[in-house]
Structure 1
């Protein structure tokens, strides 16, 4: 977890949309988070034999996470949604249905109350206006529909130590062009981060009932620290990634 700056030249983005169209920007997360989140959703939805659900994977990226979750959501209809044309091109190889849409500016092309569940995995930290995005997700969800949201944890166990040492926390970024003052080797476009408490308060304010907040490990943690990172998941406020299950009121 060295904090050495890495400032190799990168193409200058004309805006966030161009940044996310860059094929070098990561669009997939680790399977550990995807599977934990899918188990939470499968338990909430129940078996498809009781009625197949429509699940939107908003910010599906290349479809890797949805493919990993698919066996746990067998029989339910998963629709991938993303802005990046490059990501959707790859997602089409893994998902039967994909739609291009921008949750951060223009809304989703789905009728109000038409969706049973939304996977919103590591998207909210990239948004300029997360309140409007949550409003849009609430619009398309049916009453009682499920929101499964995941995001990096600002208060992860190692971030607390890094801040005490005067080091920029993992996941946080001050530039779209390089790494400055924090561990890591990739610029991923994070605009905002939340603690478990702040995330729950935000989601409640947008008309959801928070059912559960859980933790998940981060695949980028150095190997010698991964056991500790898994242990931290028992305390979501310390975990690398936050998994939030909420229901539309």
Structure 2
């Protein structure tokens, strides 16, 4: 296994950097930076199966980067399933990293939008990219950078809310703003829910597959996961919808670097 190494400083174009408003938004301790356990366990199980035994990657196991690790609770949930592999968390929120120290032993502060990650080319065996891509002003450059730090054949495990989730289809027919979608960073307008979470773009299963292939990834598969915010009475239906990824609440994509 190749250990992560810091790169020399690289200047980045200024027009793709997050705005001051977005920076302030994600440094606010009240903004959610954690995801549901069910999604995390499914994603970690898929990655563990793809990686195989830790010994196959050398004495230290595979190097797994949790890019956009948030407060580290997802990594803590995934850790038992990825035992024997080395997990490194990256985030650009000082507040999130402060909280993540309790769950992830190795952390790096890194800003993905319009910037190079402080890691060598091809250093990682896998990247976890959970509930991040929907927050990015420039997802194209972000995927380019994830592809750069992955070794050839390395695994990308990406999760994101599904614009075409089963209940969003019904909401749109009724003229209601879909769940997960945002029209403001200050308040919720016209959709169910109470929390503003900063989503800038949303994907369907078809769009996500196409986007990942265009970004240089292959063997793209998409499965579904439930959403922890679904009302309790509807949770059995939400779990059943996972059998049809295009209608599931959360999209779990597994792809490999060409």
TM range (shorter): over 0.9
**2:251 aligned with 1:245:** no
SS, match of residue 15 in structure 1: helix
Instruction: Provide the residue aligned with 1:162 in structure 2.
Output: 171
1:68 to 77, 88, 102: 77
Q: Find the aligned partners of 2:246 and 2:157 in 1 and give their Cα distance.
A: 17
Q: Is the CA contact (8 Å cut-off) linking 1:200 and 1:210 kept in structure 2? A: no
2:54 to 44, 48, 55: 48
Aligned residues: 237
Q: Shift of residue 34 of structure 1?
A: 0.2
SS, match of residue 230 in structure 2: coil
SS, match of residue 227 in structure 1: helix
Which digits, 9 at most, give the CA deviation of each residue in 1:99-119, with x for residues without a partner? 000111312100001110000
Q: Is the CA contact (8 Å cut-off) linking 1:203 and 1:210 kept in structure 2? A: no
Q: Find the aligned partners of 1:217 and 1:202 in 2 and give their Cα distance.
A: 22
Which digits, 9 at most, give the CA deviation of each residue in 1:108-154, with x for residues without a partner? 10000111000000000000110000000000000000000000000
Distance 1:104 1:14, change over 3 A: closer
Instruction: Provide the residue aligned with 1:7 in structure 2.
Output: none
Instruction: Provide the residue aligned with 2:99 in structure 1.
Output: 90
Instruction: Provide the residue aligned with 2:11 in structure 1.
Output: none
2:218 to 209, 216, 241: 209
Q: Find the aligned partners of 2:38 and 2:225 in 1 and give their Cα distance.
A: 7
Q: Is the CA contact (8 Å cut-off) linking 1:156 and 1:240 kept in structure 2? A: yes
SS, match of residue 132 in structure 1: helix
Q: Which runs of 5+ in 2 are unaligned?
A: 1-18
2:45 to 25, 39, 60: 39
**2:117 aligned with 1:108:** yes
Instruction: Provide the residue aligned with 2:137 in structure 1.
Output: 128
Distance 1:174 1:210, change over 3 A: farther
Q: Is the CA contact (8 Å cut-off) linking 2:209 and 2:221 kept in structure 1? A: no
Instruction: Provide the residue aligned with 1:176 in structure 2.
Output: 185
Which digits, 9 at most, give the CA deviation of each residue in 1:138-194, with x for residues without a partner? 000000000000000000000000000000000000000000000011000000000
Q: Find the aligned partners of 1:226 and 1:26 in 2 and give their Cα distance.
A: 21
Please report the RMSD computed on the Cα atoms of aligned residues, expressed in angstroms: 0.9
Q: Shift of residue 14 of structure 1?
A: 4.1
Which digits, 9 at most, give the CA deviation of each residue in 1:46-103, with x for residues without a partner? 1112221000000000100011000110010000000111110111111110100011
TM-score for both structures, normalised by structure 1: 0.94
Q: Find the aligned partners of 1:50 and 1:172 in 2 and give their Cα distance.
A: 41
2:66 to 57, 77, 99: 57
TM-score for both structures, normalised by structure 2: 0.91
Q: Is the CA contact (8 Å cut-off) linking 2:209 and 2:220 kept in structure 1? A: no
Of stretches 105-114 and 138-147 in structure 1, the one that deviates more from structure 2 is 105-114
Q: Find the aligned partners of 2:29 and 2:115 in 1 and give their Cα distance.
A: 23
